[in-house]
Amino acid sequence: MNRCGFCGRENDEQSKFCIDCGKPVVKGGARVISVPAVGKGSGALVGRGSSAEPSRASKGMPDTRVSSKAPADPNGGQVKVCPSCGKSADSALPFCPHCGGRLDGGPGKRSSTATFTARGTGTGPKLSLLDETGEVKKSFTLDRGEATFGRSEGDIRFPEDVFLSPVHAQIAMRDGQLFVRDLGSRNGTWVFTDGPYRLQDGDTILIGSQLIRFRRLGYPGPHPPEADQTRRLGSFTPSADIAVLAQLRADGSARDTMHLSPARSVKIGRDQGDWVFPYDQTMSGKHAEVRSEDLEFIVLDDGSRNGIAVAVRGEKAVKAGQRFLIGDHTLRVESV
């Protein structure tokens, strides 16, 4: 049996709440607080140190227990469905042993201490929705450790955002790390970089309002000598391009390109750099740099206002303070 630490009533082992007082039943060494007997008779105190426990009649308690064979109630039934949790309980009991709620549906005489839930404590990861100036518009707590975003479906919805797919993205906690995953959306899910980012073949980056795709070209082989020893005309510096940046249109086709070669870095901006976009007002004058390092290419923010984002392929880990973009909404991870 499991003794209630508040009123001393014995409950079955499976009971989570006392069937007489409705308070949580704590297993394993909970102290029984001495309280006056409430029935007719002497004013003896009930406590763990008592040599003999007073009878249930002297405490004014009905001699009922929770078991698979519940006694028949006065109305002819044996069990009653709890209006709070929907589980079956002995109809003769005042409180549900599963949730502690009153079986008669009346106002709570149960414990004033709330039952622990993630929703009640708000201990999950926290997100903030940012406006165009970067100020917080709204905050979210991931009570279940995960949430889906969408225009018409999901846990967090933005029905007015026409750039958002009906079901767009998911964010979830796993092994102490928070991950963002794109769910096949049309416009993708973007995570803003918080430092130098090493470009991988097929990556798409967002600079201002420009979608720019990075592709590897491979390494060209040596040119065979000409039969008559005549040299060819052409630029010899750089001698080879091993990657290319392509500006993408809305249909995914390439509009303009910038080739990358070993030991060559390219600066991108609205009006300064090697590749400029004077018509893009969301791009800073000096926005980003793609730097060559040991045949690899690193993209870095060059002090821009709006930052650089990378499209999520599969899933991508995010940290506290990092922003991500879905549709036309920017969110920031406040805590993990």
Looking up residue 282, the CATH number of its domain turns out to be 2.60.200
Which of 69, 97, 115 corresponds to the end of one domain?
A: 115
| 296 and 321 inside one domain | no
Residue 209 pLDDT = 96
213 pLDDT exceeds 60?
yes
Residue 225 pLDDT = 67
> Across 81-85, 102-106, 160-164, 234-238, which has the greatest mean pLDDT?
160-164
| 209 and 288 inside one domain | yes
126 pLDDT exceeds 80?
yes
| 175 and 324 inside one domain | yes
Strand runs (DSSP E) across 91-209, as ranges? 126-130, 136-141, 146-150, 156-157, 169-174, 177-182, 189-192, 197-198, 204-207
| 299 and 327 inside one domain | no
DSSP 130-144: E-TTS-EEEEEE-TT
- Total-model pTM: 0.61
Each residue's pLDDT tens digit, 159-186: 999 999 999 999 999 999 999 999 999 9
% of the chain surpassing 70 pLDDT: 69
Residue 310 pLDDT = 98
Residue 48 lies in a domain: no
Residue 219 pLDDT = 65
112 pLDDT exceeds 50?
no
Each residue's pLDDT tens digit, 15-33: 777 777 776 665 443 333 3
| 203 and 179 inside one domain | no
Q: What is the mean pLDDT of residues 114-137?
A: 74
**Domain ranges, residue 84:** 1-40+59-115
| 153 and 244 inside one domain | no
| 12 and 64 inside one domain | yes
**What's the CA gap between 45 and 36, in Å, rounded?**
5
Residue 51 pLDDT = 41
The answer to whether 23 touches 4, Cβ cutoff 8 Å, is yes
Residue 176 lies in a domain: yes
Residue 7 lies in a domain: yes
Residue 201 lies in a domain: yes
Q: Residue 321 belongs to a domain with what CATH number?
A: 2.60.200.20
| 198 and 266 inside one domain | yes
Residue 54 lies in a domain: no
Residue 202 is classified by DSSP as T
Each residue's pLDDT tens digit, 313-323: 999 999 999 99
**What's the CA gap between 288 and 284, in Å, rounded?**
9
| 94 and 138 inside one domain | no
Residue 293 lies in a domain: yes
Residue 99 lies in a domain: yes
How would you classify the pairing of strands 329-335 and 126-130?
antiparallel
Residue 126 lies in a domain: yes
How many domains in the chain?
3
